[in-house]
Amino acid sequence: MSDAVTLPEEFAALAPYVAGWAHATNAERLHKRMSSSMAEVQDFYDAMLPRLEAALVHLDRFPLGGLPPAEETLYRLVLAAGEAAVAVEIYRAPTLPLAPDASRVKVYYANMDG
């Protein structure tokens, strides 16, 4: 992510998480979660959780697919918060227990158009 990336003003406190967590794809967000320590995941989760409802209300004012750049960054953080929530609330670890090493995981998506 570029240093020029911004967030909506009311979410500026989340700026330290942008470079590490605001990835464009699901595969990148999954890899970030799986390659992070539990302390890193917990820190991000703790920062996002109290702001999620306000972030969703804010993002709901814009059309999906037409988000301004600052809102796009916030949207990506919200999606990453979902990855963090899985680790914190379900696995209690950055990876699924007994899962392969994150460096060996590649995510593929089926073409849902055809």
Q: Is residue 101 part of a domain?
A: no
- Nearest Cα residue to 70 out of 16, 28, 18: 18
Q: What's this model's pTM, rounded to 2 decimal places?
A: 0.83
Segments forming the whole domain that contains residue 75: 17-96
Per the structure, how many domains does the chain have?
1
Helix (H, G, I), strand (E, B) or coil at 10: helix
Tens digits of pLDDT across the chain (114 residues): 444 679 999 999 999 999 999 999 998 999 999 899 999 999 999 999 999 999 999 999 999 889 999 999 999 999 999 999 999 999 999 987 766 665 666 667 676 665
Distance, CA of 63 to CA of 32 (rounded, Å): 27
Q: E strand or H helix at 27, and its extent? A: helix 26-35
Q: Looking at residue 97, what is its pLDDT?
A: 72
Q: Is residue 111 part of a domain?
A: no
Q: Looking at residue 109, what is its pLDDT?
A: 67
Q: Is residue 61 part of a domain?
A: yes
Distance, CA of 69 to CA of 72 (rounded, Å): 5
Q: Is residue 33 part of a domain?
A: yes
